[in-house]
């Protein structure tokens, strides 16, 4: 058993390393999620916490003066052991916790609620937790909101990993003259981010179609031109300062800034190379508006899901009726009145090759073999075509241990699946050529 535990821990740590998140600078996206968690639960302390080999490192923190703690102290081990939501209303009421150093000393924890941060591959990387120095309770709605916020943390990690992968492949391809340039063009045109490349004299050497749309300028207008001459309004802004820093210090930079000409917020990742600078960016205006709406309405977990354009479903297992949100129906090409609230409306649309595995995933979650229900499968649309869906949910059990309700979300990942397949194909082609 001990050897098996060590193997599992080795795999977990390797998964954590792949995200390259440890010891990075603070990022607004993670800070906002920590602040949302604290505000939602009314606690003075909240953490986005990643569990390293010998320490707990805090990517984002509210109300705490330290950036990390030894792994041997604290209460994160409770979430890691159970791989589920853990709520401790009063640490002094649990004799196993009364002598813990974070209870007897700083930060003097009396209340703690933690949600495990579990990747799509099932690796538990850390926790999203809220802490107070007095005993308290939180509602089921607050717990569900924390779970929703934890998924947004994982979404941020996945975005980081995908951007890094694309950047590495980009740099490799650019070393292969014209043939490689053709392959990289195909790859960059397939991604959803805007992308452009600058040489050492700040001249555009490449701009993809998405960048043309976001910047409202064509390749013919930009190629060979100096960025500061074409966009003089950004001189002195964060765009200018961060691009200059990336080149001078030879470090990658990431930031969000308001782009005045198009009245939108852009999330930017810039990577220096010996040829110049590679810049990926996307319009995050809608995401920021959603975050603001979350603060104003205090319905954070629900609006976070809407902000991600997810379809919502709510299954009453006692009546076997399912509420499908309008977005859920529109995602598949239906109008609101065209889909009833019957369970069969869901299962009959699942691709026959995947229906059994999806239903088994439900049963495994109902049997508490998995902390969350997570499945990727194809669903038939009204026009007969299929979309790839990331389906996530969590069940609620009554006092007798019977499942009474399950709530979850539908996310269209068709584009991601296509991009993954294209990426695999590009890598195979590169491997053959190289």
Residue 227 resides in a domain? yes
Residue 300 is predicted with a pLDDT of: 44
Residue 267 resides in a domain? yes
Gap between the Cα atoms of 2 and 184, Å rounded: 46
Gap between the Cα atoms of 407 and 143, Å rounded: 13
For range 162-169, the mean pLDDT: 78
Report residue 300: phi and psi, to 5°: -65, -45
**Model pTM?**
0.42
Residue 206 resides in a domain? yes
- Please state the domain count of the chain: 3
DSSP character string of 183-251: HHHHHHHHSSSEEEEEETTSBEEEE-HHHHHHHT--HHHHBTSBHHHH-GGGTTSHHHHHHHHHHHHT-
- Same domain for 7 and 124, yes or no, is yes
Residue 403 resides in a domain? yes
- Same domain for 69 and 106, yes or no, is yes
Q: Is the predicted pLDDT of residue 117 greater than 80, yes or no?
A: yes
CATH code: domain of residue 237:
3.30.450.20
Q: Is the predicted pLDDT of residue 305 greater than 50, yes or no?
A: no
How many CA atoms lie less than 13 Å away from 309 in the CB half-sphere?
8
Q: Is the predicted pLDDT of residue 249 greater than 50, yes or no?
A: yes
Residue 294 is predicted with a pLDDT of: 60
Q: Is the predicted pLDDT of residue 6 greater than 70, yes or no?
A: no
Confidence of residue 310 (pLDDT cuts 50, 70, 90): confident
Q: Average pLDDT, whole number, for the chain? A: 86
* Residue 80 CB contacts under 8 Å (≥ 6 apart), including other chains: 51, 116, 124, 127
Residue 159 is predicted with a pLDDT of: 86
Percent of the chain at pLDDT exceeding 90:
55
CATH code: domain of residue 96:
3.30.450.40
For range 231-238, the mean pLDDT: 93
Domain with 263, as residue range(s), is: 174-286
When mean pLDDT is compared across 25-29, 147-151, 429-433, the lowest value belongs to 429-433
Residue 374 resides in a domain? yes
- Same domain for 20 and 116, yes or no, is yes
- Same domain for 137 and 24, yes or no, is yes
Confidence of residue 299 (pLDDT cuts 50, 70, 90): low
| Domain end point (choices 118, 153, 188) | 153
Q: Is the predicted pLDDT of residue 176 greater than 90, yes or no?
A: no
Token duo for residue 360: 């088994």
- Same domain for 218 and 125, yes or no, is no
Q: Which of 115, 99, 93 is nearest to 36 (CA)?
A: 115
Q: Is the predicted pLDDT of residue 296 greater than 70, yes or no?
A: no
For range 169-174, the mean pLDDT: 68
- Same domain for 185 and 318, yes or no, is no
Confidence of residue 250 (pLDDT cuts 50, 70, 90): very high
> What order of strands is seen across the sheet that includes strand 204-207?
204-207, 194-199, 276-283, 264-273, 253-259
Q: Is the predicted pLDDT of residue 101 greater than 80, yes or no?
A: yes
Q: Which of 269, 216, 209 is nearest to 239 (CA)?
A: 269
Tell me which DSSP letter residue 11 carries.
H
With beta carbons less than 8 A apart as the criterion, state whether 322 and 313 touch.
Answer: yes
Element (H, E) at 417: helix 414-433
With beta carbons less than 8 A apart as the criterion, state whether 228 and 203 touch.
Answer: no
Residue 59 is predicted with a pLDDT of: 93
Residue 301 is predicted with a pLDDT of: 46
Residue 425 resides in a domain? no
Residue 291 resides in a domain? no
- Same domain for 115 and 76, yes or no, is yes
- Same domain for 144 and 20, yes or no, is yes
When mean pLDDT is compared across 78-87, 115-124, 218-227, the lowest value belongs to 78-87
Q: Is the predicted pLDDT of residue 243 greater than 90, yes or no?
A: yes
- Same domain for 182 and 147, yes or no, is no
For range 364-393, the mean pLDDT: 92
- Same domain for 135 and 180, yes or no, is no
For range 122-138, the mean pLDDT: 93
Residue 431 resides in a domain? no
Residue 417 is predicted with a pLDDT of: 85
- Same domain for 74 and 14, yes or no, is yes
Q: Is the predicted pLDDT of residue 277 greater than 60, yes or no?
A: yes
- Same domain for 21 and 148, yes or no, is yes
Q: Is the predicted pLDDT of residue 7 greater than 80, yes or no?
A: no
Residue 182 is predicted with a pLDDT of: 61
């Amino acid at each position: 058993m001990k050897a098996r535990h060590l193997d599992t821990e080795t795999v977990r740590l390797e998964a954590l390393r792949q995200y390259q998140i440890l010891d990075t600078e603070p990022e607004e996206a993670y800070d906002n999620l920590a602040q949302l968690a604290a505000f939602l639960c009314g606690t003075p302390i909240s953490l986005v916490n990643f569990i390293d080999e010998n320490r707990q490192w805090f990517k984002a923190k509210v109300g705490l003066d330290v950036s990390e703690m030894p792994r041997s102290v604290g209460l994160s081990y409770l979430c890691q052991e159970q791989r589920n939501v853990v709520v401790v209303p009063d640490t002094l009421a649990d004799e196993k916790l009364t002598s813990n150093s974070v209870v007897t000393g700083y930060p003097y924890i009396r209340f703690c609620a933690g949600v495990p941060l579990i990747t799509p591959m099932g690796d538990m990387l850390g926790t999203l937790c809220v802490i107070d120095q007095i005993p308290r309770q939180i509602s089921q709605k607050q717990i569900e909101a924390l779970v929703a916020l934890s998924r947004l943390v994982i979404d941020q990690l996945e975005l980081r990993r995908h951007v890094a992968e694309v950047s590495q492949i980009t740099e490799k391809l650019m070393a292969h003259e014209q043939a490689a340039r053709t392959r990289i063009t195909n790859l960059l045109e397939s991604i959803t981010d805007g992308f452009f490349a600058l040489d050492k004299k700040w001249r555009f050497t490449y701009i993809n179609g998405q960048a043309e749309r976001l910047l409202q300028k064509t390749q013919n207008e930009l190629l060979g031109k100096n960025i500061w001459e074409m966009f003089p309004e950004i001189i002195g802004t964060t765009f200018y300062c961060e691009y200059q820093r990336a080149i001078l210090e030879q470090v990658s930079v990431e930031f969000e800034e308001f782009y005045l000409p198009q009245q939108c917020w852009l999330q930017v990742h810039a990577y220096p190379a010996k040829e110049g600078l590679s810049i990926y960016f996307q319009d995050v205006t809608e995401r920021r508006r959603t975050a603001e709406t979350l603060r104003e309405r205090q319905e954070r977990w629900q609006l976070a899901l809407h902000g991600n354009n997810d379809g919502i479903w709510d299954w009453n297992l006692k009546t076997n009726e399912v509420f499908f949100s309008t977005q859920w129906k529109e995602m598949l090409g239906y109008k609101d009145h065209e889909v009833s609230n019957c369970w069969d409306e869901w299962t009959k649309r699942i691709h026959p090759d995947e229906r059994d595995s999806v239903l088994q995933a439900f049963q495994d979650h109902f049997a508490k073999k998995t902390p969350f229900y997570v499945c990727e499968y194809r669903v038939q649309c009204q026009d007969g075509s299929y979309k790839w869906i990331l389906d996530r949910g969590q069940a609620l059990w009554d006092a007798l241990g019977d499942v009474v309700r399950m709530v979850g979300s539908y996310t269209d990942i068709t584009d991601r699946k296509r991009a993954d397949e294209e990426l695999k194909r590009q890598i195979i082609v590169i491997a053959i050529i190289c």
